[in-house]
Amino acid sequence: MRRTTTSDLQRMRDRGEPIAMLTAYDYPTAKLADEAGIPALLVGDSLGMVVLGYDSTLPVTLDDMIHHARAVLRGADRAHVIVDLPFGTYQTGWQDAMRAATRVLRETGASAVKLEGGARVAETVRRLVEAGIPVMGHIGLTPQSVHQLGGFRVQGKTPRDGVRLISDAKALEEAGAYAVVLETIPTALAHMITERVRVPTIGIGAGPFCSGQVQVVHDLLGLYEDFQPKHARRFLEGARLAREALVSYRETVASGSFPAAEESFYMDERALALIERMTQQGTGSAPRETPPAAAEGPEAERAELYGPRGSETGPGGPADRG
């Protein structure tokens, strides 16, 4: 199965097939999303908040993004993977953007970068696209400008702001962006923008008429409880379930019921008896009896951890992950 491309996303938009995009920041999540058939994964700088615990995306560095993107690429074989250029790596000019985007593509294997802003970053987008780097735009609530916007609030509600967002979307399209994220803007305005550009619009808090939707995976799985954006729907009460599991783990350790026999390792009785005798002598000299030789080699190591091949139950069985 080949990896989804920008052309596939354009085809989905042209066919009116909604695009489900999701953020991912690590190997297991990327693998799950890939297996679920999610066609596009965004390594968003939202990782600063939902993974690293900052109160905005501003402290996230390019090295942070690359570190997480590499893990995502190891987990996802099929999804189209986009990586956010973090704050400070492109606002200073297209040359800096080029350096950052080049590092991202070269060091992670991702297919595209995303940057925030409309007309004011159009020249940067144009330069990257000319250099062969696919760029996704992002307008509306742009979290890297949270201080300028006065907080995380709905954008484009006045005629002046609405008109500006439409021309921002067009400027990005003209500069060569292959898709544009519309974040936290009224449904009707997002609809209007979607009808006026030919590239896919990907909404988050922008209503159902965009070409696709993107959500932060921690919101979707209920793993981030600091706040829940109005646009987010929890498909799982992840934090509650995880908390219950962790309490249960603590209680089973406290009661002595974990680990059980099937979660423990066993050894040859004769070897154990020898160890006992040898250490009771307390001489530290060479043993008078030769201990039974331990099995060696990859197959023996596998059997030690996971049990003999074909064995389904019992101590050291396949469920055992050491």
Annotated active-site residue in 183, 244, 263, 269: 183
Closest C-alpha to 112, from 185, 190, 193, 178: 178
Question: Closest separation between CB of residue 296 and ligand KIV, Å?
Answer: 49
Cα separation, 114 vs 179, in Å, equals 9
Interface with ligand KIV, residue 216, by CB under 6 A: yes
Long-range CB pairs of 264-268 (<8 Å, 24+ gap) are 264/315, 265/304, 265/315, 265/316, 266/315, 266/316, 268/292
On the question of a cis peptide bond just before residue 259, with omega within 30 degrees of 0, the verdict is: yes
Span near ligand KIV by CB under 6 A; candidates 42-50, 90-98, 170-178, 240-248: 42-50
115 touching ligand KIV, by CB under 6 A:
no
Specify the DSSP element, H or E, that contains 22.
strand 19-23
Segment (H or E) for 137: strand 135-140
70 exposure class (CB count in 10 Å sphere: 0-12, 13-18, 19+): middle
User: Using an 8 Å Cβ cutoff, are 213 and 179 in contact?
Assistant: no
Enumerate residues 6+ apart whose C-beta is below 8 A from 118: 137, 139, 164, 165, 167, 168, 169, 171, 172
- Nearest distance, CB of residue 7 and ligand KIV, angstroms: 21
Binding residue for ligand KIV (CB under 6 A) from 39, 44, 137, 186?
44
Answer for which of 66, 75, 82, 84 binds ligand KIV (CB under 6 A) is: 84
Stretch that binds ligand KIV, among 28-36, 39-47, 126-134, 269-277 (CB under 6 A): 39-47
Q: Which of 181, 185, 199, 206 binds ligand KIV (CB under 6 A)?
A: 181
Asked if residue 135 binds ligand KIV (CB under 6 A), the reply is no
Q: How far is the CB of 313 from ligand KIV (least distance, A)?
A: 44
DSSP single-letter state for residue 233: -
CA 158 to chain centre: 34
The least CB distance from residue 303 to ligand KIV, in Å, is: 44
Among 4, 29, 46, 124, the residue binding ligand KIV under the rule CB under 6 A is 46
Tell me the closest approach of the beta carbon of residue 216 to ligand KIV, in angstroms.
Answer: 5
For 197, the token pair is 């550009």
Q: Does 141 bind ligand KIV (CB under 6 A)?
A: no
Residue in 30, 214, 220, 223 binding ligand KIV, rule: CB under 6 A: 214
Give the integer Cα–Cα distance in Å for 222 and 241.
Answer: 9
Contact 81, 73 (CB under 8 A): yes
Measured from the CB atom, the residue of 84 and 173 that comes closer to ligand KIV is: 84
Token digits for 236? 């799982």
**Does position 45 bind ligand KIV by CB under 6 A?**
yes
Contact window for ligand KIV (CB under 6 A) among 40-48, 169-177, 187-195, 245-253: 40-48
CB under 6 A: which stretch of 38-46, 158-166, 254-262, 278-286 binds ligand KIV? 38-46
183 is catalytic: yes
Nearest residue to the partner ligand KIV, using Cβ = 44
**Helix, strand, coil % over all residues of the chain, rounded to 5:** 45, 10, 45
Binding flag, residue 81, ligand KIV (CB under 6 A): no
What does the binding site for ligand KIV look like in residue numbers (CB under 6 A)? 23, 42, 44-46, 84, 138, 181, 183, 204, 214, 216
Catalytic residues: 183
